[in-house]
Amino acid sequence: MMMRYSLVLVASLFALLLTTAAAQTSETTSLDVIHAESLMSGGKYQDALLLLNHAIAAHPTDARALVDRGDVYEYLNEQQTAIADYSAAIAINPDYAYAYASRCESRRELNADDAALGDCSHAIELSPHDPYAYRERALIYLDDSDADKALQDAQEAVDLDGGSSFGFTVRCRAYVALQRADDAIRDCTTALQMGSAMSWPNYFRGLAEIQKASWSAAAADFTEALSRAAEGTGAYYWRALARHNLGLEADALTDVSAYIQASPEDGDGYLLRARIQFALGHAPDALASAQSALHLYRVANDTDGMAKTQAFLQALNAPAPAPAATPH
């Protein structure tokens, strides 16, 4: 799921996380591993991978090297391979908290939330003052729609590490899920002021602004989110909604069409397109889009979506109101 960390963010996170990893293993570490960690901090992951492969071939029980290589694979989005390295490190050192937290992250990326939750919870038991596992567990709770627990963990992460822009971003996301728009806007703004290069702070601040009907601010944030991560196609839907409410229907239609192309099974996209097409005076197109939305909602057994679409179709087919009488 979700967006990958930007290169700038990953590089800054590795500087902290590698220090944590090094502190949790007593294995004598070769110079290759130390050099590889320096390369990872600079974003040179392929070069680091070569050194780590060499180090592990020479010292196959070096848990720190295995976790480092897992981190490289995690960044390269090879989550199963990363999990194998984290599991090997845990087999060597069952008390390696950072290895559990890292495996938690990779499992979450693969939507294996139950296994991920167990890993993050065990990492917290082993190292209760490390914010990494709290941030990751908060994201799992958000995936599972348990926003209250997510906020508790996100708050703990911020309390433990007030210098992490990602911690504020995760708490912002929890506030959005709880409909606490002002708190969300504050935290995402803080993350941006701290130099976050991710698309998430703009994206979730935009969602909070949608909750406040601050359409212009939301449109600007989704534009920035797309400039930071063009693959974040959900931002097209929300920018379309903001532009629709601003009366920018042609731009809104372009956005929602891009969203539908990326997410053709989401009835929300078709219903929004129907509303935009109707606003543009394209009633036949609006009818076709609404019928597509209704079909997808039925397939998904989304009763709320079906009700909204039926109401729109009724309004679409309603006779035009009689002209007002001309005063004499």
pLDDT at 318 (0 to 100) = 58
Segment 42-54 mean pLDDT: 94
Q: How would residue 29 be classed by pLDDT, with cut points 50, 70 and 90? A: low
What confidence score (pLDDT) does residue 30 get? 81
Per-residue model confidence (pLDDT) at position 32: 87
Closest CA to 185 of 205, 203, 168, 171: 205
**Tell me, what's the pLDDT at 28?**
52
Question: For 282-308, how does the pLDDT look when each residue is reduced to its tens digit (9 = 90+)?
Answer: 999 999 999 999 999 999 999 999 999
Flag whether pLDDT at 6 surpasses 50.
Answer: no
Model confidence over 159-218: pLDDT tens digits? 999 999 999 999 999 999 999 999 999 999 999 999 999 999 999 999 999 999 999 999
Q: Tell me the C-alpha distance between 122 and 317, whole Å.
A: 57
Would you kindly state where each structural domain of the chain is located, as residue ranges? 233-317
Q: Which pLDDT band holds residue 105 (cuts at 50, 70, 90)? A: very high
**Distance in angstroms (rounded) separating the CA atoms of residues 154 and 150:** 6
**Beta-carbon contacts of residue 88 (< 8 Å; ≥ 6 apart):** 63, 66
Assess contact for 232 and 199: CB atoms under 8 A: yes
Q: Which residue has the higher pLDDT, 128 or 328?
A: 128
- Per the prediction, the chain carries an average pLDDT of 90
CATH fold of 233-317 reads: 1.25.40
Spatial separation of the C-alpha atoms in residues 192 and 165, rounded to whole Å: 7
pLDDT per residue over 109-163, tens digit each? 999 999 999 999 999 999 999 999 999 999 999 999 999 999 999 999 999 999 9
Structure tokens at 298: 């039925």
Within a 10 A sphere around the Cβ of 251, how many other Cβ atoms? 17
Q: Which two tokens stand for residue 294?
A: 């209704």
Q: Residue 2, exposed/middle/buried by CB under 10 A (0-12, 13-18, 19+)?
A: exposed
Asked if 20 and 101 count as a contact pair (C-beta separation under 8 A), the reply is no
Which of 26-40, 263-277, 314-328 is predicted least confidently?
Answer: 314-328
Please give the C-alpha separations between residue 267 and each of 103, 261, 301, 321, in angstroms, as whole numbers: 34, 12, 11, 29
